[in-house]
Every structure is written in C-alpha cells, then in structure tokens.
Amino acid sequence: MTPTQLLILVAIIVLVRLVVTLRPVPAGGGDKGKAFAREYLDPFIIAGVAAWLLITFVARTYYIPSGSMLPTLQIHDVLLVNKFEYRFHQPQHGDVVVFPPPLPETDDFIKRVIGIPGDTISIHGGIVYRNGQALKEPYIAAQPDYKLEIRDYGIYVDNGGGFQPIDPHFANVPPKAMWTAPDRIPPNCYLMLGDNRNDSEDSHIWGFAQDAGTFATGPRAGERAGFTGRAVVVFWPVTEARALQR
C-alpha cells in the first residue's frame, strides 16, 4: 500500500468516526455509537496515522517484480527500504537503491549504485572500471555483454555494432552545460546497473538517475527526481531473510 492509499483509508475511517459521533441520539438512550468509535475506530486512526508517518518519512516495504537484480534479489522477495538515511548523506557506491526512473513508469526501480557524481566509468571485456580501477563484483549474475563509456558529455554504449551515444530524447543525459568534465558523471547524477547485467533495464539504456532537482532530458524531463531509499533487509520469504551489503 502506498502512502497516498493509506492516507485515503485513514481519511475514510475519520469520516466514519465523525458520522458515528455526530449522528443524533434518542433521548434517554445510550450512545453505543460513540463507544464503538472510541473502542474500534480511534485505534485504527491512530495506527493509520503512525503507519503513514513511518512509510512516508522512515521506511517502507518493496516487492521485487522482476529478475533484474538476480542473484542478489529474487523475484517475489520483499524488502525493507530505509527512506531516512539519504536525508543525511547521498547514495554511496554499492548501495542497492529504490528510485523513480527517468522513464514513464508508475513503479520505482531498484538497482545498484555503480557511479556517483565526479566518477569516470567504463565497461570493457565484461569488467566495470571506476576511476580507472577494475571493480570486483561477486554479486552479478554474469559479466555484461556490452561495452560502455562516459565521454564527450554523454553515455556511449556498444552492443556489438560499435559505440553509439544514448539519445537524450529517450534517456536522462544532461546537456553539456550541466557537466563539470566531459568524461565524469555530472552533479546529482548516478549510474545505476542491475546485478543481472544482461537482463536489466538500467543506466546503459535510460541514462542517469538523479538524487535531486528535475530530470534534465528524456520522457520525464522537468519532472521531480530523487531517491526513495536504500534497500537494507530482505525479510520475506523468511528462509531467505538477510541484510543487504554494499
């Protein structure tokens, strides 16, 4: 249940509470309606408001609908997402993050942070290089079968037919004026990849995620960007419960 849906449910219960409380009571009759409201409706209202505050500002659950993060996350896993952490610091390398993508999607995506603002990133021979250093990635399903380079104020991907820039009309790739260097990730931008590299709709397709502001280009240009939170714990199924490591 989303925060908005929960708030609507609480509002309905509050309305019922008002109707029960304010309805006329026959003279000399006991007001069973008010007793019912106090005993049953008030606790629901208090619990609902507390839950809304919790999932809006602190933490919420997230269901895994696809295999883009295999083997780290299985389809149907349920996670606890910490929404509070990024109020104090920005996402870090290796974080598994839930966020709205720069695509016209109703659901958030979940990917791993590979590059943060100021990083250089390239992928060659199935290896990700960050700031010139090869990454050790024991968490991936298989090495990526594509090449990638951040250069010339863009993201260039080679799927076997030579390097081509990702089109800003269909992806979030900020214009040159928003970059600090032609080969470094721009401010507020993050390169996000799924652990199932060859079956993941991620930054090698739709460009950068953002931690603030509005998407610079692509289908959601001008819409608010940000991060929902960091996935910290898998709690369902119980047999697979575990903390997620960077």
For 102-116, give the DSSP string.
SSS-SSPEEEEEEE-
What is the rounded distance in angstroms from the CA atom of residue 83 to the CA atom of residue 202? 21
Contact between residue 115 and residue 190 where contact means Cβ atoms under 8 Å apart: yes
What is the rounded distance in angstroms from the CA atom of residue 160 to the CA atom of residue 145? 9
Q: Identify the active-site residue in 34, 66, 68, 122.
A: 68
Residue of 60, 94, 66 whose CA lies nearest to 79: 60
Q: Identify the active-site residue in 66, 83, 111, 147.
A: 111
Active site residue 68: yes
CA distances in angstroms from 198 to 140, 146, 201, listed in the order given: 10, 8, 9
Residue 47 parent element (H or E): helix 42-57
SS (H, E, C) 170-202: CCECCCHHHCCCCCCCCCCEEEEECCCHHHCCC
What is the rounded distance in angstroms from the CA atom of residue 102 to the CA atom of residue 40? 43
For 3-35, give the DSSP string.
HHHHHHHHHHHHHHHHHHHHS---TT---HHHH
**Burial of 238 per CB tally in 10 Å (0-12, 13-18, 19+):** exposed
Active site residue 66: no
Residue of 245, 229, 192, 241 whose CA lies nearest to 74: 241
Which residues participate in catalysis according to the annotation?
68, 111
